[in-house]
């Protein structure tokens, strides 16, 4: 599955900002977030084995898999297979980014005023410690 992407690095490199940053192109790319992943030791060993077999770091492998899982490009057979496996396991749903209209000024002022009333959290915590 991942081997198909290895032959077309341009398909996944758009998700990799780390290597591009070291190439001196960071000014043109968005920042990169760091994510912590909790998994069993056995699963981590399996991911490491697959990554090593593909000649990738764990980070590269996970980035590719997550990019495929969240990208709706149906032209890539490997991506289609992975999404179908995730869908069959009940782990893939369709989503679309939402656009929300910001609150108008009056609603915002009412919310700000309400946020400054009531019992302070510090008083609640202190009261429960007694």
Domain boundary assignment for the chain: 2-88
pLDDT band of 6, cuts 50, 70, 90: very low
Question: In 3-state terms, what secondary structure has residue 46?
Answer: helix
Average pLDDT of the chain, as a whole number: 76
CA distances to 102, 112, 118, 120 from 108, rounded to whole Å, are 9, 6, 18, 21
* Segment 34-77, tens digit of pLDDT: 888 899 999 999 999 989 998 989 998 898 888 877 776 778 88
Predicted TM-score (pTM) of the model is 0.46
Exposure b/e, 68-82, CB count within 10 A at least 16 = b: beeeeeeebebbeeb
């Amino acid at each position: 599955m991942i081997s198909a992407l290895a032959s077309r690095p341009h398909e996944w490199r758009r998700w990799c900002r780390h290597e591009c940053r070291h190439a001196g192109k960071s000014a043109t790319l968005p920042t990169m977030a760091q994510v912590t992943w909790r998994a069993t030791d056995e699963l981590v060993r399996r991911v490491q084995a697959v990554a090593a077999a593909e000649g990738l770091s764990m980070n590269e492998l996970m980035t590719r898999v997550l990019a495929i899982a969240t990208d709706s490009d149906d032209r890539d057979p490997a991506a289609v297979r992975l999404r179908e496996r995730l869908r069959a396991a009940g782990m893939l749903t369709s989503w679309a980014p939402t656009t929300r209209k910001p609150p108008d000024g009056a609603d915002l002022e009412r919310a700000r005023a309400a946020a400054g009333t009531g019992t302070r959290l510090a008083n609640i915590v202190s009261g429960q410690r007694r």
